[in-house]
Amino acid sequence: MNEAPRPQFEDVADVVRYQLSRRSLVGGGAAAALTGLLAACSGGGGSYSDKPANDKPVATKSIQIGKANIPVPRDQSVIVGQVEYTVFDSFNGMIPNGSPGGAGVELATEPLFFLSFATGKLTPWLATEYKYNDSHTELTMKFDPKAHWNDGQPLGANDFKFTVMLLKDRPDLFGGGGDLKEFVKDVEVPDDHTAVVKLLKPTPRLHYNFIAAIAGAPINLMPEHVWKGKDPTKYKDNPPVRSGPYKLKQAIRNQKMFIWEKDPNYWNKDKLDPKPQYAVFQSTSKQLDQASLAFERAEFDVGSIDAQHAKQLTNTGYPALQTTQFHDPNPRVMWLNCDPARGVMAEPKMHQAINYCLDREKIGKSVWQVEVPPAIYPWADYPTNDKWKNDELANKYKFEHNLDKATQLLDEIAPKNATGKRTYKGKEIVLEIITPAPVDKDEYAIANVLKTDLAKVGVPATLRSLSGSVHDQKFQRGEYDIDSSWAGFAIDPEQLYTDWESSKAQPIGKNAAGKNKMRFRNTKFDEISKKLAGMDPNSEEAKPLLDQALEIYFQELPLLPVIQTGYPQFFNTTFWTDWPTDDDLYEVPLNWWPHFIFVLGKIKATGQKGPA
């Protein structure tokens, strides 16, 4: 390893910032920096975890255990209630609708390094270390010689080279497609466990692509022996060849269920040996009462219940409910389509008018499942992000709910015609709002609040809840005006802004591949982003550029942050105990993150048997 001191921009907060946009820290000094930076944000009642009130009713209610609808032994299985699945025969995450999100494949997919928000710990995994040369024009990765894929084939430097070289020239692919082209010249493999990346220019952040910090790593390794010669836009990768402790046993379409079974030949069993033999991920009922009843009957161990029903269970003295708070890194946002083909949506004043119609206080207090603060900046409100704020600019372009100001702006750009309808360039305005959330979920409700206030200022809008696959297609192709969802943004603003560069804005109808989905174009912004790309964001020279870019953001508003996101996680202790708690947040409790594998490695069976 390179023993030279790491520059300031390689601290863990910068890794986190980078991870939020994509969706040398191995060593004593770096580990200490990581722990210190995240300690303020984890545990101790910080932003990541809010301490629970000590007024819970005494547990008095008995548990009537129901029979879980699974084909594997209940007492050997953790059952996770998740989203509505629509994809069952493909696990290719590089293409739209190519893999089911939150279906358990995260437990089989391992990064080179894990970075935990809950503990502040960086853990080498598939890789044992990395180092740059002094000029940051060469990056060396070392791989664990024990590592192998779940089909028994070795995993190492050749898979790394194959993955990097494939993705760097394919901007049409998700998972880092095209992101490496600007930096990577070639990858050399001096031995099976060593890869040396030759860089086109100094790049101090390339290794961030291989760290699982915000959910999964931006780039996960692909097994060369499986993918070589395959068309990455068509290959389904079914069954998925991965390296984690679980491998796919069965996907059951009519039950909307995925069953993952422990791999007896898992390569890293001495460090991680999960207790459940099976991890079952299943779509829950769309009826909240029914989904909550399934949790109450211990037919699910994780999820399957919302905050309102969880509160009801707690108030009745239900003994097996455990609630763990965690502050999600993704604010809820409104993506605004900036393409001229969407008419009035290309006008910055339209974006400002929509912003005035957003009642953030109301949404944060009454719409989200727990009370949360408004979002002003397009990043999570973690303490480590405070240095990127500029309150002077935020006050200059103050966010407020003000329908009168919205009306004034609309009268300028879209005056009403003789029939009282607002028009833009001779055409009546009707906006299309889409969301991936079902009609009974929060993101739909947020959009509905906006839709109501838009109508008050003379802007009619349609609001449609779209299934995951349909939504993803329309969103990536730019076939929407406003999208109500979420965003995993960088907190190092350069890593946030790089995806907004004009060169990544595809025409309407062409897949955006996860980049510049709002079709934002601003040449001055592009110049600033490119200058920031090679700078330490904490340096004096970077600060004025960061402020210039932030001001353009406030002026143009290509997306609107709405609220910060509080995510209580609900666990049932009937069959399994030792889940993460507010007092012992030993790992990120979110079941759709790969970090959840460490939760499964910690929990213990109670000995409870399921009904016959």
Claim to verify: residue 434 and residue 504 sit in the same structural domain:
yes
Q: Are residues 379 and 431 in the same domain?
A: yes
Residue 237 lies in a domain: no
Ranges of H-type helices in 478-516: 493-497
140 band by pLDDT with thresholds 50, 70 and 90? very high
For residue 172, pLDDT over 90 is answered with no
Q: Which of 572, 605, 68 is nearest to 318 (CA)?
A: 572
pLDDT band for position 37 (cuts 50, 70, 90): very low
Q: How confident is the model at residue 227 (pLDDT cuts 50, 70, 90)?
A: very high
Question: Which residue do the tokens 């996680």 mark?
Answer: 569
Q: Which residues contact 111 (CB under 8 A, 6 or more apart)?
A: 125, 126, 210, 211, 212, 216, 217, 220, 594
590 contacts 330 by C-beta, under 8 angstroms: no
| Interval 40-55 mean pLDDT | 35
For residues 313 and 496, the answer to whether their CB atoms sit within 8 Å is no
In the block, residue with structure tokens 């990544």:
504
Instruction: Answer yes or no: is pLDDT of 60 > 60.
Output: no
Give the SS3 label for residue 351.
Answer: helix
pLDDT at 19 over 60: no
Query: Nearest to residue 246, comparing CAs of 580, 573, 576, 601?
Result: 601
Given 563, 581, 597, which residue is the final one in a domain?
563
Judgement on whether residues 410 and 525 belong to the same structural domain of the protein: yes
- Angle of helix 348-356 relative to helix 542-556, nearest 10 degrees? 80
Which of the listed residues 166, 192, 227 is the one where a domain comes to its end?
Answer: 227
- Domain housing 130: 110-227
Same domain, 210 and 356: no
Angle separating helix axes 523-532 and 542-556, nearest 10 degrees: 150
Top mean pLDDT of 56-60, 180-184, 369-373 is at 180-184
Phi, psi for residue 215 in degrees, rounded to 5: 55, -130
User: Edge-to-edge, what's the strand order for the sheet holding 77-82?
Assistant: 77-82, 278-283, 257-262, 246-252
- Average per-residue pLDDT for the chain: 88
Residues 6+ apart with CB under 8 A from 189: 157, 158, 161, 195, 196
Say yes or no: 170 and 287 in one domain.
Answer: no
Name the percent of the chain lying above pLDDT 70.
89
Pairing of strands 246-252, 257-262: antiparallel
pLDDT single digits (tens) 252-306:
999 999 999 999 999 999 999 999 999 999 999 888 899 999 999 999 999 889 8
- Indicate which CATH number applies to the domain containing 580: 3.40.190.10
Is 11 among the domain residues? no
Question: Would you say residue 578 lies in a domain?
Answer: yes
CATH of the domain at 148: 3.90.76.10
The position carrying tokens 């740059």 is: 132
Would you say residue 497 lies in a domain?
A: yes
pLDDT digits (tens, 9 = 90+) for 550-593: 999 999 999 999 999 888 899 999 999 999 998 999 999 999 99
Q: Is the domain of 473 the same as that of 361? A: yes
Same domain, residue pair 337 and 390: yes
Beta-carbon contacts of residue 441 (< 8 Å; ≥ 6 apart): none
Q: Please choose, from the candidates 127, 196, 142, 211, the residue with its C-alpha nearest in 3D space to the C-alpha of residue 164.
A: 196
DSSP assignment of 469-483: HHHHHHHHHT--SEE
Q: What is the pLDDT of residues 489-540, one digit of tens each?
A: 555 788 789 899 999 999 999 999 889 999 999 999 999 999 987 777 778 9
Please give the Cα distance from 591 to 599 (Å, whole number): 9
If one counts the domains in the chain, the total is 3
Q: Domain for residue 238, yes or no?
A: no
Which of 194, 227, 260 is at the close of a domain?
Answer: 227
Contact 219, 175 (CB under 8 A): yes
Say if residue 81 is in the same domain as residue 133: no
Euclidean distance between the first and final Cα of the chain, in Å?
Answer: 56
The predicted model gives 475-496 an average pLDDT of 85
Number of residues written out for the chain:
612
- Least confident segment among 46-50, 175-179, 386-390: 46-50
**Per residue in 189-225, is it b (16+ CB within 10 Å) or e — as a string?**
beeebebbbebeeebbbbbbbbbbbbbbbbbbbbbbe
**Residues 256 and 117 both lie in one domain:** no
Q: What is the largest CA-CA distance in the chain?
A: 76
The CB density around residue 7, as the number of other CB atoms within 10 Å, is 14
* Amino acid 328: pLDDT: 77
Query: Does position 425 have pLDDT exceeding 50, yes or no?
Result: yes
If asked whether residues 222 and 371 sit together in one domain, one would say no
We report the CATH number of the domain holding residue 558 as 3.10.105.10
Does the structure show a pLDDT above 70 at 43? Answer: no
Mean pLDDT, rounded, for 74-93: 94
**Helices and strands (DSSP H and E) totals, the chain:** 16, 20
Which comes out higher in pLDDT, residue 197 or 2? 197
Residue 308 has pLDDT above 90, yes or no: no
Amino acid sitting at position 538 = N
What confidence tier does 47 reach under pLDDT thresholds 50, 70, 90? very low
Task: Specify if 35 maps to a domain.
Answer: no
Same domain? For 541 and 577 the reply is no
Strands 278-283 and 257-262: antiparallel
What angle, rounded to 10 degrees, do the helices at 307-315 and 288-296 form?
50
Closest Cα partner for 461 from 506, 485, 429? Answer: 429
Whether 196 and 274 share a structural domain: no
Closest alpha carbon to 78 in 272, 246, 232: 246
- On whether residue 388 sits in a domain, the answer given is yes
Residue 82 located in a structural domain: yes
Instruction: For residue 88, count other CB atoms closer than 10 A to its CB.
Output: 16
